Structure 1
Amino acid sequence: MQEALQILQKYWHYDAFRPVQEDIIRSVLEGNDTFGLMPTGGGKSLCFQVPAMVNEGLCLVISPLVALMKDQVNQLQARDIKAIALTGSIKPDELIALLDNCQFGNYKFLYLSPERLEQDWVLERIKALPISLIAIDEAHCVSQWGHDFRPSYLKIKNLKQHFTKIPFIALTASATPPVQEDIIGLLGLEAPKVFQQSFARHNLGYFIIKAEDKLYKLNQILTKNPQSAIIYVRNRKNCHEYAAQLKALGHKTTFYHGGLPVKEKEKNMVSWMQDETPVMVATSAFGMGIDKPDVKTVIHINLPENLESYYQEAGRAGRNGEKAFAVLISSPSDVVRAESQFLSVLPDTAFLKEVFVKLCNYFRIGYGEGINEEFPFSLNQFCGQYKFPAVKTFNALQFLDRQGILSLSQEFSEKVQIQFLIESREVIRYSSLNPDDATVISVILRSYPGIFDLQTNINTVFIAKKANTTEAKVLHLLEKLKNLNIVAYFSQQNESKITFLEVREDDRTINRVSKHLEKQNQVKQKQLDAVIRYVSDEGSCKSRLLLGYFGEKNTADCGICSYCTQKKPSSFTIEAIRTEIVRLLAGKDMTSRDLAAVLPTEEAEMLEALKQLLEHGIISFNTKNQYTLHKK
Structure 2
Amino acid sequence: MQEALSILQKYWKYDTFRTPQAEIIASVLDGKDTFALMPTGGGKSICFQIPAMMQDGICLVISPLIALMKDQVANLQKLNIKAIALTGGISSDEISDLLDNCQFGNYKFLYLSPERLQADWILDRIKALPINLIAIDEAHCVSQWGHDFRPAYLKIASLKEHFPKIPFLALTATATDRVKTDVISQLKLENPAVFQKSFARKNLAYMVFNVEDKLYRLEQILKKNPQPSIIYVRNRKACLDVSSQLNYLGIKSTFYHGGLHAKEKDKNMKLWKNEEVQAIVATNAFGMGIDKANVKTVVHIQLPENLENYYQEAGRGGRNGEKAFAVLLNSPSDVQSSESQILNNLPDSKFLKEMYVKLCNFFQIAYGEGIDEQFSFNINQFCVQYNFPILKTYNGLQFLDRQGIISLSQEFTEKVTVQFVIESKEVMRYMSLNPQDEEIILAMLRTYPGIYEIITAINISLIAKKSKSAENQVVAVLNKLQERQIIDYHAKSNDSTITFNEVREDDRTINRVSKYLENQNDLKKAQLKSVLDYVVNDKSCKSRQLLDYFGEKESKNCGICSYCITLNRTESKVSSTAEKIVDLLKTSPMSSREIQMYSKFSDEAIIFALQQLLEINKIEILPNNKYTLK
Match of 1:595 among 598, 605, 609: 598
Match of 1:620 in 2: none
Cα distance, 1:608–1:298 mapped onto 2, change above 3 Å: closer
1:146-165 alignment, distance < 5 Å: 146-165=146-165
Cα separation, partners in 2 of 1:225 and 1:610, compared to 1, 3 Å: farther
User: Corresponding residue for 1:305?
Assistant: 305
Q: Is the Cα–Cα contact under 8 Å of residues 239 and 283 in structure 1 kept in the other structure?
A: yes
Provide, for residues 23-46 of structure 1, a one-character-per-residue CA deviation record: whole Å limited to 9, x for no partner.
111100110000000000000000
Q: Return the offset for 1:104.
A: 0.8
Cα separation, partners in 2 of 1:245 and 1:119, compared to 1, 3 Å = same
Distance in 2 of aligned mates of 1:170 and 1:610: 51
Offset at residue 3 of structure 1 (A): 0.9
Q: Deviations over 1:80-112 (max 9, x none)?
A: 111111101111111111111111111111111
Counterpart for residue 522 of structure 1? 522
What is the one-letter code of the residue matched to 1:252? K
Greater Cα shift, 252-261 or 571-580: 571-580
Paired amino acid for 1:286 = F
Contact 1:259/1:456, CA 8 A, preserved across alignment? no
Partner in structure 2 of residue 433 of structure 1 = 433
Query: Would you say 1:343 and 2:343 are equivalent positions?
Result: yes
Q: Deviations over 1:244-284 (max 9, x none)?
A: 11111111111111122222221211111122111111111
Aligned residue type for 1:154:
L
Is 2:27 the counterpart of 1:24?
A: no
The CA deviation at 1:409 is: 2.1
Contact 2:260 2:413 in 1 (8 A): no
| CA deviation map 1:65-93 (0-9, x unaligned) | 11000111111111111111110111111
**What secondary structure, in the 3-state scheme, does the structure 2 residue paired with 1:573 have?**
helix
Q: Taking structure 1 as reference, are residues 584 and 399 closer, same or farther at Cα in structure 2, changes over 3 Å only?
A: closer
Contact 2:397/2:408 (8 A) holds in 1: yes
Cα separation, 2, equivalents of 1:405 and 1:269 = 35
What's 2:259 paired with? 259
CA distance in 2, matches of 1:436, 1:66: 46
What is the CA-CA distance between 1:468 and the residue it aligns to?
2.6
Encode CA deviations 1:594-614: one digit per residue, 9 max, x unaligned: 236565971236659999xxx
Paired residue secondary structure (1:55) = coil
User: In the TM superposition, what whole-angstrom CA distance separates every residue of 1:14-66 from its partner, at most 9, and x where no partner exists?
Assistant: 11111211111110011000000000000000010111111111000001011
Distance 1:432 1:459 in 2: 25
Give yes or no for contact 1:592–1:626 (8 Å, CA) kept in 2: no
**1:204–1:326 contact (8 Å) kept in structure 2:** yes
- In the TM superposition, what are the counterparts of 1:19-168 in structure 2 within 5 Å? 19-168=19-168
Q: Which residue of the partner structure matches residue 607 of structure 2?
A: 604
Asked if residue 358 in structure 1 is aligned to residue 361 in structure 2, the reply is no
Residue segments in structure 2 that go unaligned for 5+ positions in a row: 619-625
2 CA distance for matches of 1:445 and 1:252?
A: 26
Deviations 1:170-191 (A, max 9, x none): 0000001111011111111111
Deviation per CA, 1:188-210: give whole Å up to 9, x if none: 11111000000000011111100
Q: Deviations over 1:126-150 (max 9, x none)?
A: 1111100000000011111111111
Task: Give CA-to-partner distance per residue, 1:440-499, whole Å, 9 cap, x none.
Answer: 222222322432343321111112222232222211211111111111222211112222
Q: Which residue of 2 is the match for residue 630 of structure 1?
A: none
CA distance in 2, matches of 1:57, 1:571: 66
Q: 1:110 to 1:599 in 2, by over 3 A?
A: closer
| Change in CA separation of 1:171 and 1:423 when aligned onto 2, cut-off 3 Å | same
Matches within 5 A, 1:212-361: 212-361=212-361
Q: Is the counterpart of residue 192 in structure 1 residue 201 in structure 2?
A: no
Aligned residues of 1:58 and 1:110 also touching (Cα < 8 A):
yes
**What residue identity is the alignment partner of 2:607?**
A
Closer/same/farther in 2, CA of residues 287 and 575 from structure 1, 3 Å limit: closer
CA distance in 2, matches of 1:414, 1:591: 42
Change (3 A) 1:469 1:184: same
Q: Partner residue of 1:618?
A: none
Change (3 A) 1:254 1:31: same
The residue type equivalent to 2:466 in the other structure is K
Deviation per CA, 1:480-520, whole angstroms, max 9, x where unpaired?
11111111222211112222222221111111111111111
Please say if residues 210 and 607 of structure 2, whose CA atoms lie closer than 8 Å, have aligned partners that are also in contact: no
Shift in alpha-carbon separation, 1:566–1:130, aligned structure 2, 3 A: same
1:562 is the counterpart of 2:562? yes
Letter in 2 for 1:594: M
Is the partner of 2:84 in helix, strand or coil?
Answer: strand
Q: CA deviation at 1:309?
A: 0.3
- Tell me how far 1:368 sits from its aligned partner: 1.7
How many Å apart are 1:570 and its aligned residue? 3.6
In structure 2, distance between residues paired with 1:495 and 1:293: 37
For residue 425 of structure 1, report the CA deviation from its aligned partner. Answer: 2.9
- Once the two structures are TM-superposed, the CA of residue 232 in structure 1 deviates from its matched residue by 0.7
Partner of 2:622: none
State how far apart, in whole Å, the 2-side matches of 1:454 and 1:261 are.
14
Residue equivalent to 1:468: 468
Residues 1:28 and 1:511: Cα distance change in structure 2 (over 3 Å):
same
Decide whether the 8 Å contact of 1:59 with 1:108 is kept in 2.
yes
Q: Is the 8 A contact 2:239 2:283 kept in 1?
A: yes
Is residue 233–residue 281 contact of structure 1 (8 Å, CA) maintained in 2? yes
* Cα separation, partners in 2 of 1:605 and 1:209, compared to 1, 3 Å: closer
RMSD: 2.4
**C-alpha displacement at 1:364, in angstroms?**
2.0
Does 285-294 or 403-412 show the bigger shift? 403-412
The equivalent of 2:388 in structure 1 is: 388
Cross-structure match for 1:399: 399
TM-score with structure 2 length normalisation? 0.93
Is 388-397 or 31-40 further displaced after alignment? 388-397
Alignment-derived partner of residue 621 in structure 2: none
Task: State the alpha-carbon separation in 2 of the partners of residues 608 and 550 from structure 1.
Answer: 29
Q: 1:205 to 1:575 in 2, by over 3 A?
A: closer
In structure 2, give the amino acid aligned to 1:310.
Y
- Gapped regions of structure 1 (runs ≥ 5): 616-624, 628-632
User: Structure 1 238/153 Cα, relative in aligned 2: closer, same or farther at 3 Å?
Assistant: same
CA distance in 1 between counterparts of 2:153 and 2:217 reads 43
Aligned residues: 612
Aligned to 2:488: 488
CA distance in 1, matches of 2:574, 2:35: 53
Contact 2:596 2:603 in 1 (8 A): no
Q: Which amino acid aligns with 2:561?
A: C
Sort the Cα spacing of 1:208 and 1:600 in 2 relative to 1 into closer, same or farther, 3 A.
closer
Which of 130-139 and 443-452 deviates more? Answer: 443-452
CA distance in 2, matches of 1:545, 1:552: 10
Number of the residue aligned with 2:533: 533
**What is the CA deviation profile of residues 381-435 of structure 1, one whole-angstrom value per residue up to 9, with x for unaligned ones?**
2111111111111211221222122222222222212222223332233223323
Is the Cα–Cα contact under 8 Å of residues 239 and 256 in structure 2 kept in the other structure?
A: yes
* 1:416-455 mapped onto 2 (5 Å cutoff): 416-455=416-455
Letter in 1 for 2:382: F
For residues 205-243 of structure 1, the C-alpha deviation after alignment (integer angstroms, 9 at most, x for no partner) is 111100121111111211222221111112111111111
Q: What is the percent sequence identity of the aligned residues? A: 63
Structure 1 residues 29 and 555: alpha-carbon distance in aligned structure 2, compared to 1, 3 A threshold: farther
The worse-fitting range, judged by mean Cα deviation, of 246-255 and 135-144 is 246-255
Q: Residue 188 of structure 1 aligns to a residue in which SS? A: coil
